[in-house]
Structure 1
Amino acid sequence: MQSAAAIGLVRPCAARPLAACPSPRRGGGVGGSLLPALTPRGLRLSARAGLVPASPLEEEESRRCRAARDVAASAAAGKAAAGEEAGGGGLVKTLQLGALFGLWYLLNIYFNIYNKQVLKALPYPINITELQFTVGTVIAVFMWITGILKRPKISGAQLLAILPLAIVHTMGNLFTNMSLGKVAVSFTHTIKAMEPFFSVLLSAIFLGEMPSTFVVLSLLPIVGGVALASLTEASFNWAGFWSAMASNVTFQSRNVLSKKVMVKKDNEESLDNINLFSIITVMSFFLLAPVTLFTEGVKFSPAFLQSAGLNLQQIYTRSLIAAFCFHAYQQVLIHLADIAASYMILARVSPVTHSVGNCVKRVVVIVTSVLFFRTPVSPINSLGTGIALAGVFLYSQLKRFKPKPKAA
C-alpha cells in the first residue's frame, strides 16, 4: 500500500502554517478551536474524561501533522547541511585553485630548465619544437582513444578556420625555442613581456579596437623596461632578441585571428578549448614535419646523438620531460581558463587573480632560471625587468575597464 505521504494525504496539513498543527504532547488548539492532541498510543486527552480512544479522523489528522513537521525538520536540516557543504566546498575549490596555480608554475619551471639544457647540448630548435608537438599529438590521440577527452566532430570548414591559428602557433613556439637556444631563459621571458604591446598594435590594425589613453600609457613602462634590460643583458645577441620578438608577434596574431576567423556557425558543433588546442597541436606537428626534414634533418636518432658525443639517456629523458611539461602546462592553463578555455584559470578565477597569477608566473620562471643557471644579472638589468613586469600588470588591470558608450 502507498503511504499517506505518497498519495498526498499530508498536503492539507502541510499547506497551512506548521504552528496550526496540534502538539502531540498537549491539548488545545489554534484560534480557539479545541482540536485534541494525540498521544503516541493513539489516545486523546479529554478535559472531562482523561485519556480516551482517538477517533480515526483524529489519528489521520495527527499523522498528517507529524508528517508535515518531519518535512519541515528535514528541510531545515538540509539547509544547514547545504550551508556547511558550501563552506567546505569553497575551501576545497580554493585549495584546488591553489594546486592548479602551483602546478602551472612548476610545469613552466621544469619546461624552461630542461628545454634550455637540451637546446644547449643540441642546438636544433626545429627538431626540438617538432618533438614537443609529437609528444602533444600522442597525448591528444591517447585521450581521444581512451575517452578521457571527447573526440571532436569537426568539419572541413572548421579545419580551414583553424589552419591559420595552427600556423602562427607553430611559428610562435618555434621562435620561442630559437630564442631560448640563443639567450638566457630570463632574458627571453623579459622580452616576451612585450606581448601586450603587440596585442594592442595588432588589435588596432586588424580589428579596429582602439586602446584607451591609459592603456597606451601602461605600455610605456613595458617598452622602457625591456629596453633597459636588453642594454644591460650579458647574454644579449640579435638572433635571440628578434626570435623572442617574432614569438610575441606570432602569438598575438593567433589571439587576433581567433577573434576574427573562429566564428561559430549554427550548423556546426562548437569546440571546447582543450579540443581546439589538441587539434592545433596535431596540425602543428604535420605542418612542421616537412620543414624539419628539409632544414635540419632528423637529429634525435641514436646514431647522430652518439656521433655528437652526447649522452643518449640524458638527452632523451630531458627532451621528453620538457615536451610533456610543455603540453601539460598549457592544458592546466586551459582548465584554469574554463575547461572549455590559455585555453584550466579564467572561468574559475577573476580577471584580477588571473593577471596577478600570470605576472607572478613570469617572475617565478625568471628568478628560478637565474638561480638554476647562475645567470649574471646586473642591478640595472633587474630594474629593467621589474619595470617591464610592473607595466604588464598595470596593462592587464587597465585593459579590464572598458569606456562607457556615449549617449546618442
Structure 2
Amino acid sequence: MADQERRMLKEEVITYAYILLYIALSSGQIFFNKWVLSSKEINFPYPLGLTLLHMVFSSILCFVLTKVFKIFKVEAGMTPEIYTTSVIPIGATFAMTLWLGNTAYLYISVAFAQMLKAIMPVAVFILGVAAGLEVMSCRMLLIMSVISFGVLVASYGEMNISWIGVVYQMGGVVGEALRLIFMEILVKKKGLKLNPISVMYYVSPCRHVLNIFLFKVYAMALAICLFVPWIFLEKPKMEAHGTWNVQALILTLNSLCTFALNLSVFLVISHTSALTIRVAGVVKDWVVVLVSALLFADTKLTIINLFGYGIAIAGVAAYNNSKLKKEASRSSTNDSLDVQSLTKEASSSTSDR
C-alpha cells in the first residue's frame, strides 16, 4: 500500500513538473520572441524570417528524433489524400498563426496581445459550427458573448492601442482556430492518432524529401505561406539594413526554445489530457500579462484592462468546463456502447455453443 502511494505521489509530482515546465517555456518563448523582434541590440524585426527559422529548425530536429535516433514514433496511416486535404492545411494555418502573431508584437504589447488571444474559443466555436463539429446552443452563445464582452472591455482600457497590431493578432487567432479545426478533422474524422511530434514531422520539409510528389505539394504550400511573402516583404529590408550577420547564437536558442515548448505540450498531454493544457494555458496567460508589465516598457496595464480580461477568462473557464462535460459524456456513451457490444458477443457465443 505504501509503495502504491509513493508511486501515485511520484506521478503527481512529475505531472505538476511538466505543467510548470510548459507554463515556464510558453511564457518564456513569448518574452523571448518579443525581445528578439523589438530589441535594438538584436536588430531582427522580421517576424516572417523568425517564423521560417523556427519551422526549418523544428523540421530538422523532428527528422533526427524520429528517423535517426527513433526516440519518437510517427504513427502510420498517412496517405497522399489525407496529407493533401488535412496536413497541408494544418501546416499552412500553423505558419499563418506564427507569422501574424509574431508580427503583432511589433505594434502592441505582450500583455495586450495575450488579452486579445482570449477571444480564441469564440473563433474556434464559430468555425466549429460552420464545419459541423459544434452545435449552437443558448449556453454556448452566452459563454461566447461573455468572452467577447470581456475582450472588448480589455481593449477599451488599452492606453496605447495600435489597430494594425490588433488586426495582425486577430489574424493569428483565426489561423490558430483554423489549425485546431483541421486537427480535429484529421484526428477524429479520419481516424489518425497523432501526437505533437508526429504533426511537426508530417508538416516538416525534411520528411517529404523521401516522397517527391508530396514534397512538391508541400513545398508549394510552404512557399505560398511563408517563403514567397518573406522574399517580397522582408528580404529587401534585410539586405538594405545589412542584417544578415545577426547573432546566430541568440536565434538558435530562440528556435530551440520553440521546439522545447512543443515537446512540453506533448509531455503534458501524454500525462494528463488536452483539457489540462487549456487550463494551464489560462494560468500561463495571466503570468504573461502580469510579468510583461515588469519586463517591457511598452506595457501599461489599467484597471479596465484587467477587469475586462478577468471577464474574458471567466468565459474561457466556462467554455473549458463545458468541453470537459461534453468529453466525459462522450466517453460514458462509448463505454456504454462497448458494454452492449460485449453483451451481444457473449450472447451470440452462448447461442452458438
1-structure distance, mates of 2:155, 2:249: 33
Give the CA RMSD over aligned residues. 2.9
Q: Does 1:382 align with 2:306?
A: yes
1:7-156 to 2 correspondences below 5 Å: 83-120=1-38, 121-144=43-66, 145-150=68-73, 154-156=78-80
1-structure distance, mates of 2:323, 2:190: 29
2-structure distance, mates of 1:263, 1:392: 23
1:138-287 to 2 correspondences below 5 Å: 138-144=60-66, 145-150=68-73, 154-160=78-84, 161-207=86-132, 209-262=134-187, 271-282=194-205
Whichever of the two has the greater Rg, that structure is: 1
Question: Greater relative contact order: 1 or 2 (C-alpha under 8 angstroms, separation 6 or more)?
Answer: 2
2-structure distance, mates of 1:151, 1:199: 27
SS in structure 2 opposite 1:210? Answer: coil
1-structure distance, mates of 2:261, 2:53: 16
Corresponding pairs, count: 306
Q: 1:401 Cα deviation (Å)?
A: 2.9
Q: Deviations over 1:342-374 (max 9, x none)?
A: xx6417xxx4x5443221111112112121114
Match for 1:346 among 273, 281, 286? 273
SS in structure 1 opposite 2:242? Answer: helix
The share of aligned pairs that are identical, in percent, is: 24
Aligned to 1:399: 323
Q: Which deviates more, 159-168 or 202-211?
A: 202-211
Aligned to 2:242: 304
Higher helix proportion (structure 1 or 2): 2
Aligned to 1:293: 231
Aligned to 2:337: none
Aligned to 2:268: 336
Change (3 A) 1:397 1:285: same
Q: Which deviates more, 162-171 or 121-130?
A: 121-130
Q: Which deviates more, 185-194 or 323-332?
A: 323-332
Q: 1:208 Cα deviation (Å)?
A: 5.4
Which amino acid is 2:267 matched to? H
1-structure distance, mates of 2:44, 2:314: 35
SS in structure 2 opposite 1:207? Answer: coil
2-structure distance, mates of 1:229, 1:140: 39
Q: Deviations over 1:39-81 (max 9, x none)?
A: xxxxxxxxxxxxxxxxxxxxxxxxxxxxxxxxxxxxxxxxxxx
Aligned to 1:320: 252
1-structure distance, mates of 2:28, 2:232: 30
Alignment gaps of 5+ in structure 2: 206-217, 331-353
2:27–2:284 contact (8 Å) kept in structure 1: no
2-structure distance, mates of 1:389, 1:271: 29
1:137–1:285 contact (8 Å) kept in structure 2: no
1-structure distance, mates of 2:60, 2:280: 29
1:227–1:384 contact (8 Å) kept in structure 2: yes
Change (3 A) 1:270 1:231: closer
